[in-house]
Structure 1
Amino acid sequence: MRPCFLSALVTISLPLAVYAALNGPCTANGLPGACLTTATCSGGGGTSRPGFCPNDPADVQCCTKSCGSGGTCRFTSTCTTGNVASGLCPGPADFKCCLPASGCTAPNVNAATVALIKQFEGFVPSPAPDPIGLPTVGYGHLCQTSGCAEVPFPFPLTTTTATSLLTSDLRTYQNCIASQVADSVRLNDNQYGALVSWAFNVGCANTASSTLISRLNAGQAPNTVAAEELPKWNKAGGVVLPGLVNRRAAEVTLFRTASSVVAHPPSC
């Protein structure tokens, strides 16, 4: 009789690697943070702290960062003051600089700044593509949803409702300039307004990483820095645009217009 061998099928269960969501929240020694790659964290000026994203790969650690004037990078849903600034923190879009509710809010720009922005943005009563194809409405409001559904006014806009929309939009850029420029830098309302106009045009992330801001914070003469750095921001898609050349020149002129009104650091 031929021997019969039975083969037992053995299933071995190996533990599965469980990874926390990249860009998810974490806390390191009481500091709020986000689980980011160490490269992303360091590239945004943050500090990577190992051991607080324990289920992630070694190069994903809890990224923490101080920002602005007494602020901390954290997810906006946990910023109890509601005073947040964009462009200062690495990682996901809702990981922003949470600033104290100390009354030191960024001031509104002056009338000369509003006039400059209106001049170069132009008035668009209903959503339409801008010179580089992005859908905008009013005075340079970039649509966030299809048909600019987030705008709380009916289309076509009037110049009055468009001005209200612009005032609301400018708060983000006022906050980021006030946060990015060190409190040791004294700016009058024209200098501050020129920087807000620039931020409104190029975005807070670009201003945060700019040589212009770093030179101001290093204590260099503001009028010289603005005259040398603002004109460099004259391209869109790598192409020099005459409209941007003219806008930067107008911002330099505004920046260098003397004023006794101090806008930065904000008064508390």
Structure 2
Amino acid sequence: MKLLSIAVFALASATSFAKTYPITGNTVNCRSGPGTSYSVKKSYKKGAQVSISCQTSGTSVSGNSIWDKTSDGCYVADYYVKTGVNGYVTKKCSGGSNGGSSSGSYCKKVNTAGVNLVAQWEGFVASPKPDPIGLPTVGYGHLCQKKNCAEVKYKFPLTKTTAKQLLSDDLPKYSKCLAAALNSKPKLNQNQWAALTSWVFNVGCGNAKSSTLVKRLNKGDSPNTVAAQELPKWRMAGGKVMQGLVNRRKAEIKLFKTASSKQAYPKCQ
């Protein structure tokens, strides 16, 4: 009896420490990966209690880019989970095709060649103004997050030097997205990493994560072959082939194929 009582108490204690959180949306999809482009595995109703095994970054939902991996093995946007904090509440996911770099040592900053490539194709804007599709931007493609780009720490009008610094501040967000999409199979040097970060910066995190390019890299296909075959496909905007995008993809492929002895993913040198 005493041993049974101890076992029951231990089980009850373990259960009490299995923290769960309520779903706040009416019908919230739990997906195969951390982003809205991944397939739906199941859905949770409002008020359902979920436990979180780990968290990672993914597609931003109403300003929150954290995604929670539930005990069901799928990912739900943290925006719809009432954890009580605006940040991570448990360990970060690691390994696997949806968990990002297992080492966590990928190069967060992009090399100078990559910064220069993005700057070349984004074009320079000294003070905030709408881009061709009406979004307020400044510098080299920085999308304003607040009125008049108040989040930018550099003085307007920007110089090309401060604009490059702002771009260098922005690019790690896209490198992080790329690392979250890749498993441990791709081995990329710093020029390859920079070229792909330029691509992610241009097409967006969600599009990159759901792309055939990423899927092929995660299968272990040759990076140079994948880049040469997949990057040129990203040449359209508004349903039309854009010569500027054709040229940008050629420049990215050229940088991708430029030899470098310094590794960037999954380990940074």
TM-score normalised to structure 2 length: 0.69
Deviations 1:12-51 (A, max 9, x none): xxxxxxxxxxxxxxxxx6577956646563563575486x
Structure 1 residues 84-163: aligned runs within 5 Å: 104=105, 106-163=107-164
Contact kept? 2:54, 2:92, Cα under 8 Å:
no
Alignment-derived partner of residue 257 in structure 1: 258
Instruction: Report the aligned-residue RMSD.
Output: 3.7
Deviation at 1:152, TM superposition (A): 1.8
Specify whether residues 122 and 31 from structure 1 end up closer, same or farther in structure 2 by C-alpha distance, changes over 3 A only: farther
Q: Secondary structure at the match of 1:127?
A: strand
**Number of matched residues?**
222
Paired letter, 1:73: W
1:229 counterpart residue number: 230
Alignment correspondent of 1:44: 38
Contact in 1 for aligned 2:20/2:51 (Cα 8 Å):
no
Distance 1:234 1:77, change over 3 A: same
Q: Using the TM superposition, give the Cα deviation of residue 63 of structure 1 relative to its aligned residue in structure 2, in angstroms.
A: 9.0
Distance 1:216 1:65, change over 3 A: farther
Which residue is 1:190 aligned to? 191
Instruction: For 1:41, give the aligned amino acid.
Output: R
Q: CA-to-partner distance for each residue in 1:75-132, whole Å, 9 max, x for gaps?
A: 4823169989xxx99xxxxxxx8999x7625331111111111111111101122233
Per the alignment, residue 206 of structure 2 pairs with: 205
1:77 aligned onto 2:80: no
Q: Which runs of 5+ in 1 are unaligned?
A: 1-28, 90-96
Alpha-carbon distance between aligned partners in 2 of 1:128 and 1:210, rounded to the nearest angstrom: 31
In structure 2, the residue corresponding to 1:175 is in which secondary structure?
Answer: helix
Preserved contact between residue 34 and residue 64 of structure 1 (Cα < 8 Å): no
Stretch deviating more after TM superposition (73-82 or 252-261): 73-82
C-alpha spacing 1:62/1:195, structure 2 compared with 1 (3 Å): same
Name the SS of the counterpart of 1:133 in structure 2. coil
Q: Note the C-alpha offset of 1:54.
A: 6.8
Does 1 or 2 have the higher relative contact order (CA < 8 Å, sep 6+)? 2
Amino acid across the alignment from 1:225: V
Asked whether the equivalents of residues 107 and 266 of structure 1 are also in contact (C-alpha less than 8 Å), the reply is no
Partners in 2 of 1:114 and 1:246 — Cα distance?
17
Identify the residue that residue 167 of structure 1 maps to in structure 2.
168
Match of 1:16 in 2: none
Query: Cα gap change, 1:135/1:179 in structure 2, threshold over 3 Å: closer, same or farther?
Result: same
Amino acid in the other structure paired with 1:77: N
Superposed displacement of residue 239, structure 1:
2.2
Percent pairwise identity: 48
Residue of structure 2 equivalent to 1:176: 177
Partner amino acid, structure 2, of 1:78? G
1:47–1:65 CA contact under 8 A, matched in 2: no
Distance 1:189 1:223 in 2: 13
Change (3 A) 1:98 1:189: closer
Question: Which amino acid counterpart does residue 132 of structure 1 have in structure 2?
Answer: I
Q: Distance in 1 between matches of 2:90 and 2:54?
A: 16
Cα shift readout 1:143-196 (whole Å, capped 9, x = no counterpart) = 122222221222111122212211111110011112212122100111111000
Alpha-carbon contact 1:45-1:65 (below 8 Å) kept = no
Mapped to 1, the partners of 2:135 and 2:253 lie a distance apart of: 26
Are the counterparts in 2 of residues 112 and 190 from structure 1 also a CA contact under 8 Å? Answer: yes
Distance 1:82 1:243, change over 3 A: farther
Contact in 2 for aligned 1:106/1:178 (Cα 8 Å): no
Which entry has the higher C-alpha Rg, 1 or 2?
1
Per the alignment, do residues 211 and 258 of structure 1 end up closer, same or farther by CA in structure 2, a change over 3 Å counting?
same
